[in-house]
Structure 1
Amino acid sequence: MSVLIVIPARYASTRYPGKPLVELTGASGEKKSLIRRSWDAAMSVSGVDKVVVATDDGRIKTACEAFGAQVVMTSETCENGTERCSEALANLEGDYEIVVNLQGDAPLTPAWFVEDLVQGLRNTPKAEVATPVLRCDGRALNGFLEDRRNGRVGGTTAVFGADNQALYFSKEVIPFTADTFADDAETPVFHHVGVYAYRPSALSAYTQWSAGPLEMLEGLEQLRFLEQGRALLCVEVQARGRQFWELNNPEDVPRLEAMMADMKLN
């Protein structure tokens, strides 16, 4: 019943080259790279047997090894983090029940998001992949809408059925609502948290499929599973007073730093 966390990280990001090595200042004033903060987040998760960084870049490898991370080198041809996780798994010894993809641009991911995700996949035998979703409050939803008004790609939203099986993911804000919400009000929109838990068989199958039109249009790797008719479970997680955001664009750096200051995260 072992669990592996893989943190995929690439230097040549289209929207933000060198993103894993960007430094973020915590509440104490200490600066740490994005990849270091993502590693620290992974190491705080309980019930995990191994954590590795998967990259194709020597600069990231050097930086990670300097703070004690185990690094698995993967090829430059990996199209996304899921493909990089699949290659990392193939290059590692060991038999893992569940592989978690904790993307290297989400350092504010609380440990319980991953713990609840793994438990959700274990509790749902028909699901091959699971991913967390977080109900947006008004502040988060308004941040999404502000990004879209300014032509920025912000977070991803998810819609799912009564059985919690994913119906769609989009970089647009879905479902549409004409209502306005106070900062602390619940909304009908769910933020897709960029973490995945896979059964190894799902990772192996993923690399055999070509990217479909929806994946290419949205630039969202998880849509490949939906386009192939595979069950993808959405696991609702609770914020417990924590703010959450990914680093997608340079403009997100001050946003994340403000959140860390507000939550007193060093």
Structure 2
Amino acid sequence: MRILGIIPARYASTRFPAKALVDIGGKSMIQRVYEQSSKATQLDQVIVATDDERIFNHVMDFGGKAIMTANTHQSGTDRCFEALTKTDGIYEYVINIQGDEPFISPEPIDNLAEALDGEVALATLVKVIDSDEILFNHNVPKAVLNKRNEVMYFSRQTIPYLRNPESGQWLGAHTFYKHIGIYAYRADVLAEITKLPVSSLEKAEALEQLRWLENGYAIKAVITSDDSHGVDTPEDLVRVSRKFLL
């Protein structure tokens, strides 16, 4: 089973322009993501997919691999598909690795890859929620799983709603899952989902993965103990740097 790791990286960002090239303790964000992802033993290759020559040249300069893609893509999934079509290898699966997690651990990437057996169409990571701060934060997507550990629904709301316990007692009454935004796509399925129109549920929640569920694709959930530490703003960068570099 050959698996390609792709790190989509844009230069433009509404909340944090040029964040892929920002310096974090002597290395750029994209270099840290690339180096951490390259430690995953289940990936046959890691590449950066970008629409900007500055990012492309920077990746090549530090010895990484990069592919130029169009600047019209609306999502990392679309960028991953174009990058896949431009590789010279044959891969059964693609894992989309977020380009704004400079301290990502290779273990959850390997855990996700180990769930790919040729039958799984799509897969992603989830983590058990252990704090009310995360549970009731509408900026943190949650996932509800079925008995086969497939995702039934994603929402920014706290789901499922518990009718009887007070909100401060929800964590002790039910297992809630935070969605960790790393995706695995079987290559043929990646080609299919990039052709789907934006769905009503996707519009409602602003969550791309709902488009796949709404069109009948099963998404395997792999439970991880590793958390995500994404950098969306300069303030996030300060927080994450203090956690990992000090």
Fold match by TM threshold 0.5: yes
Q: How many residues align?
A: 242
Report the TM-score, using the length of structure 2 for normalisation: 0.88
Whichever residue aligns with residue 228 of structure 2, its letter is F
1:130 matched to which residue of 2? 123
Q: Give the secondary-structure state (helix, strand or coil) at the position aligned to 2:73.
A: coil
Give the deviation of 1:142 after TM superposition.
1.5
Cα distance per residue 1:101-145 (max 9 Å; x no partner): 1110123322111111111122x72x310001111222xx52564
Cα distance 1:189–1:248, how it changes in 2: closer, same or farther (>3 A)?
A: farther
Provide the rounded CA distance (Å) in 2 between the counterparts of 1:261 and 1:98: 33
RMSD, aligned CA: 2.4
Q: Which residue of 1 aligns with 2:168?
A: 179
User: Structure 1 regions of 5+ residues with no counterpart?
Assistant: 25-29
Residues 224-251 of structure 1, C-alpha deviations (whole Å, 9 max, x = no match): 2111110111111123xxx532122332
1:230 aligns with 2:225: no
Greater Cα offset, 65-74 or 216-225: 216-225
Counterpart code for 1:42? S
Say if 1:159 and 1:108 are closer, same or farther in 2 by CA, change over 3 A. farther
Corresponding residue for 2:14?
Answer: 14
What amino acid maps onto 2:151 in structure 1? A
So what's the TM-score if we normalise by structure 1? 0.82
**Aligned-partner Cα distance in 2 for 1:258–1:228:** 42
One-letter amino acid of the structure 2 residue matched with residue 120 of structure 1 = A
Distance 1:43 1:220, change over 3 A: same
Maintained 8 Å contact 1:136/1:186:
no
**Alignment partner of 1:169 is 2:154:** yes
Cα distance in 1 between the residues matched to 2:205 and 2:23: 28
Which residue in 1 is equivalent to 2:133?
142
Matched residue of 1:194: which SS? strand
Whole-angstrom CA distance in 1 between matches of 2:196 and 2:170: 41
Q: Which one of 41, 44, 47 corresponds to residue 49 of structure 1?
A: 44
Q: CA deviation at 1:32?
A: 2.2
The 2-side partners of 1:244 and 1:162 are apart by: 25
Change (3 A) 1:261 1:172: farther
2:30 matched to which residue of 1?
35
Gaps of 5+ in 2: none
Q: How does 1:31-110 map to 2 (within 5 A)?
A: 31-110=26-105
What residue in structure 2 maps to residue 259 of structure 1? 243
* Mapped partners of 2:45, 2:219: distance in 1: 24
The more displaced of 69-78 and 217-226 is 217-226
Identical-pair percentage? 36
